[in-house]
Amino acid sequence: MTNLEFSFALFFVAYFAGLIGALTGLGGGVILVPILVILFKIDLRYAMGASLVSVIATSSGAALTFMQHHYTNLKIGMFLEIGAVLGALIGALLVKFIPTPIISIIFGIVLLLSILLSLKRHEAVTAKTSHPWAKYLSLEGHHLTQTGLQKYPVFRVPLGFSLMTLAGALSGLLGIGSGALKVLSLDLAMGLPYKVATSTSNFMIGMTAAASAGIYLSSGYIYPEIIFPVVLGVLIGALMGSKILIQAKPKRLRILFSIIIFFLALQMMYKGFLGI
Amino acid sequence: MKISDILIGRVLLIGVLISASVVFFGGTLFLIQHGIEIHSNPIFSKTQVVFSFHSMMVGILHLEPRSLIMLGLFTLLLTQWVRVFLTAWYFIEKKEKFYFWTSIFVFVMLIYSIWNGS
């Protein structure tokens, strides 16, 4: 295969990873890494580097769409980002010390958990009053409902903060955005309205990934020739995906893709156990 | 200047478009120069230094494809710094001292991450 053919193949695969990532709500990175490793035989660390950069690009590209609806809670986003950014730095530094087969296995497990999370329906939280920290830090915000602008309460701040630190660490360790876990902390743990949770998560993903990216750069996980078709592919795919998402209800698609991702997860774990 | 969430979103979109254009330009140059060569996957080695700010700047002056792609990535990272910086500014305008310092902390961590090894 020539460089030209290889770049085009990477671009198309990255495009579909970005598209599927947006349609399933899993994000491009978590799908991209196993494909690059299994199909293209790219070193896991270079695959993670390419994925991390794509995550920053998609988060930035989608920000305006989210911001236009004023759903992003900047206070919650910045407050939790303290945990996420520290987690990301630690996660990215750990890549140097953890053998790649172990990272493969962790990747597989995180992939399986992400599928479960994305298919799970979110349940309404029963508590009505905000956590004392949320009141003290004035984290509560307003969102538009059928009855007009309404204030929403914020629950379990310490749990949300801890989960977000974990999300940051996984983002740095695996080169992904860990959007599924971020939305989980905001939506299920802190009880934010779903749209507020997804757009605040998107706001945070780019910053968290940027924290790891610096360490990835200096550790040599960023390989320009692999990066360029991947970033462009994922970015275009993700933007197309978010357009389709508005028009269609892709429930069947989500199940179909979840099955594919399930097998990718198994293969990552299998590779890890083989010690490759 | 009045900072709003929409303004932050716009700046991010412009940043990502500039960065993608630079990456695209560098990538196209790479394919023009090396497109017909046979591809072989790079083997990861811990001693190989892929990025240094100085060599990137020198490479850009010579229109070297790898350095241009790296410049695109650097623009993308810069966009994230701007995101945090604008959010800090937003909180200053809202007189939210605590959140201003929160943003500054995140900003310092991002700078630390890039300074850490390069």
Residue B103: closest C-alpha in chain A = A78
In this prediction, residues B47-60 reach a mean pLDDT of 76
Residue A200, helix vs strand vs coil: helix
Report CB contact under 8 Å: B109, A85: yes
Closest CA to A107 of A119, A93, A95, A97: A95
Cβ atoms of A17 and A28 within 8 Å: the answer is: yes
- Write down the mean pLDDT value for chain B: 88
Based on the number of CB atoms within 10 Å of its own CB, is A121 exposed (0-12), middle (13-18) or buried (19 or more)? exposed
Q: Cα distance from B61 to chain A (closest Cα, Å)? A: 17
Residues 135-194 of A with CB under 8 A from B: 137
Q: What local confidence, expressed as pLDDT, does residue A244 receive?
A: 72
Q: Pull the structure tokens for residue A156.
A: 């379990």
Partner B contacted by A225 (CB < 8 A): yes
In this prediction, residues B97-117 reach a mean pLDDT of 90
Concatenated DSSP letters for A212-248? HHHHHHHHT---HHHHHHHHHHHHHHHHHHHHHHHH-
Residues 4-43 of A with CB under 8 A from B: 4-7, 40-43
Report CB contact under 8 Å: B44, A46: yes
Q: Pull the structure tokens for residue A187.
A: 């939506």
Residue A145, helix vs strand vs coil: strand
In angstroms, rounded to a whole number, what is the distance separating the alpha carbons of residues A35 and A133? 42
In this prediction, residues B68-84 reach a mean pLDDT of 93
Partner B contacted by A113 (CB < 8 A): no
Q: What local confidence, expressed as pLDDT, does residue A135 receive?
A: 80
pLDDT along chain A (276 residues), means of 10: 92 91 77 91 93 92 80 92 96 93 93 80 64 82 78 89 95 90 86 86 92 90 92 90 65 76 89 82
CB-nearest partner of A232 from B24, B34, B77 = B24
Residue that has been written with the tokens 């080695």 in this structure: B45
Q: Which residues contact A204 (CB under 8 A, 6 or more apart)?
A: A77, A80, A81, A84, A164, A182
In angstroms, rounded to a whole number, what is the distance separating the alpha carbons of residues A105 and A269? 4
Other C-beta atoms lying within 10 Å of the C-beta of residue B41: 13
Residue that has been written with the tokens 């990934």 in this structure: A209
Angle subtended by helix axes A28-38 and A44-68, to nearest 10? 160
Q: What local confidence, expressed as pLDDT, does residue A175 receive?
A: 93
Helix, strand, coil % in chain A, rounded to nearest 5: 75, 5, 20
Q: Contacts of residue A82 in chain B, CB cutoff 8 Å?
A: 102, 105-106
Q: What local confidence, expressed as pLDDT, does residue A127 receive?
A: 61
Question: Does residue B118 register a pLDDT over 80?
Answer: no
Q: Contacts of residue A85 in chain B, CB cutoff 8 Å?
A: 106, 109-110
Dihedral Cα A159, A155, A173, A90, nearest 10 deg: -60
In angstroms, rounded to a whole number, what is the distance separating the alpha carbons of residues A199 and A16? 22
pTM of the model: 0.90
The domain ranges of chain B are 5-33+51-113
Residues 74-93 of B with CB under 8 A from A: 76-77, 79-81, 83-84, 87, 90-91
Partner A contacted by B44 (CB < 8 A): yes
Q: Which residues contact A146 (CB under 8 A, 6 or more apart)?
A: none
Question: Does residue B87 register a pLDDT over 90?
Answer: yes
Report CB contact under 8 Å: A220, B46: yes
Report CB contact under 8 Å: B5, A67: yes
Look up residue B36 and give its amino acid.
I
What is Dmax (Cα atoms) for chain A? 61
The residue that leads in pLDDT, A249 or B34, is B34
Partner B contacted by A234 (CB < 8 A): no
In angstroms, rounded to a whole number, what is the distance separating the alpha carbons of residues B110 and B96? 21
Q: Measure CA B8 to chain center.
A: 16
In angstroms, rounded to a whole number, what is the distance separating the alpha carbons of residues A20 and A166? 24
